[in-house]
Amino acid sequence: MRIRVLMFFCSIMVISSYGEILNANHLFPFFEKLTHLEKDKAAGKVNVVHIGDSHVQTNSFSGSIRSTLQQSLGNGGYGFTFPYYFQNKGLEGKTFRFSSNASWQICRNNMPYICALDAEFGLSGYGFTTSMENFALKIEVIDAQYKFNTMKVIAAGEPFPFKIAEAIGKFEIKNAPPFFNIHVVKQGETLAGIAKKYGVSANSIMEMNKIDSSAISADSVLHIHVEAKTVDINMSRLKPLKFQQSERHVATYRQKKTASEIYLIPTVKRQLHNLNGLVFENDRRGIIYHGIGSIGSMASHFNATPLFFEQLHVLSPDLFIVSLGTNESFSLMPAEEYMSNLNRLIANIRNACPGVPVLVTTPPASLLKGEPNIYVKEYTDTLMKASDFAVWNLHSFTDGLMHISGDKMHYTRQGYINQGTAFATAILQNYEQYKQSQKSKE
């Protein structure tokens, strides 16, 4: 297999200047596995796990990393995904579509107060739960290149809370109304009027959003819970399939023929069914890139959820990438505290998956109150002095703020594509340098 280093035309003038990875020697075990992947047809898969915030959840950034690595090293499958659709966030709809006859509650590890009491923040960084007994969750693969032979369901609890099934003939699911709503207040709206719209009390909205007054302002965001509901379906039209392998936190299903559709149904009656994530693989060797992004999250939020680290091994990681810091900076967190939380996160990762290399990207440049964000600059300066993990300087790549979005915190689709392509190309360039150094030793 020949490595092809791909560059987008709009980025070609700058990628080569940002190809350096600091402390790249930490990546040598990962590079050695890539060497085996190229030489040995039986080498199977190499798994890259990328942990981050909304920048990673955005499919433009993570998708360009995935596609660049897989075009050079082979497509081993899509990897980790999650039903972000249910909160109307993320761009995963371009690859997957999720639908369900039951209401599901989705909430993030940085907003635990809006979650069901027994919700568990596992590998996705989200709680995704339903209390409905007769549900089906349909997963459709929209992008044909990511049809799958293997599916892994990640969840906690004994007995395992989910079964998988296939439809008998044509089977349609009508979506139940969302259990959880995000409402942006419009000019002239009142709390009483909003409560009436959703069929809840004004007091319940005030309690959920921790506000003391019914006075609300335009453009403020309210989180609103409504009564969970189901839409009746004929469950007899779903044929259960057997997992070939089941262990703590994960059950695996394999089949010879590639598939683009599958269903999750309940195993047993329980008060709450909690899904932590899904993994899709094919039967080809290559890279599997697992993007785990949680909107609004910081290192401290992941550190506060032990189940996240307990489930990391499910992904068989060969490289961890960590991209955090934007939310810390907008919280005005000092660099010392940021590094303390980040180092704890890395220690937790290494404790869960010993010996796996860690590569940290600095947070991208942004504007804070109309001025260059000095916090992310301080984080970057501190990271560039680190020695016990590899570092790539995303801040330097974005310092011109090209393609930054209107909120001055995120980037446009093209901006994220440029960043992801530059980062993945830097990994490939450093891998080529590693191979050359190994040849010179022979």
Q: At 87, which amino acid appears?
A: Q
Among the residue ranges 12-16, 197-201, 337-341, 437-441, the one predicted with the least confidence is 12-16
User: What span, in angstroms and rounded, lies between the C-alpha atoms of 274 and 419?
Assistant: 34
Closest CA to 114 of 58, 179, 163, 49: 179
User: What span, in angstroms and rounded, lies between the C-alpha atoms of 343 and 73?
Assistant: 30
pLDDT of 208 reads 78
Q: What is the mean pLDDT of residues 49-69?
A: 94
User: What span, in angstroms and rounded, lies between the C-alpha atoms of 334 and 241?
Assistant: 51
CATH number for the domain whose boundaries are 80-173+234-283: 2.60.120.260
pLDDT of 342 reads 98
pLDDT of 91 reads 42
State the number of CA atoms in the 13 A half-sphere of 328 facing the CB: 30
Closest CA to 48 of 35, 23, 31: 31
Considering the domain delimited by 180-225, tell me its CATH architecture. Roll (3.10)
Considering the domain delimited by 1-76+285-442, tell me its CATH architecture. 3-Layer(aba) Sandwich (3.40)
Name 200's Cβ contacts closer than 8 Å, sequence gap at least 6: 224, 225, 226
Using DSSP's 3-state secondary structure scheme, residue 8 falls into coil
Pairs from 428-431 (Cβ < 8 Å, separation ≥ 24): 428/3, 428/5, 428/68, 428/69, 428/72, 429/5, 429/19, 430/19, 430/20, 430/21, 430/24, 430/27, 430/31, 431/3, 431/31, 431/34
Only one residue has tokens 């804070």, namely 368
pLDDT of 180 reads 63
Is pLDDT above 60 for 15? no
3-state SS of the chain: helix, strand, coil percent to 5? 35, 25, 40
Backbone phi, psi, residue 79, to 5°: 95, -145
Question: pLDDT tens digits, residue range 116-174?
Answer: 667 889 999 998 888 888 899 999 999 999 999 999 999 998 889 999 999 998 888 88
User: What span, in angstroms and rounded, lies between the C-alpha atoms of 240 and 243?
Assistant: 10
Tokens of 30: 């990962």
Q: Work out the pLDDT band at 17, boundaries 50, 70, 90.
A: low
User: What span, in angstroms and rounded, lies between the C-alpha atoms of 308 and 302?
Assistant: 7
287 and 181 Cβ atoms separated by less than 8 Å = no
Task: Give 181 or 39, the one with higher predicted confidence.
Answer: 39
Tokens of 212: 């003391």
Question: What are the residue ranges spanned by the domains of the chain?
Answer: 1-76+285-442, 80-173+234-283, 180-225
Question: pLDDT tens digits, residue range 298-339?
Answer: 999 999 999 999 999 999 999 999 999 999 999 999 999 999
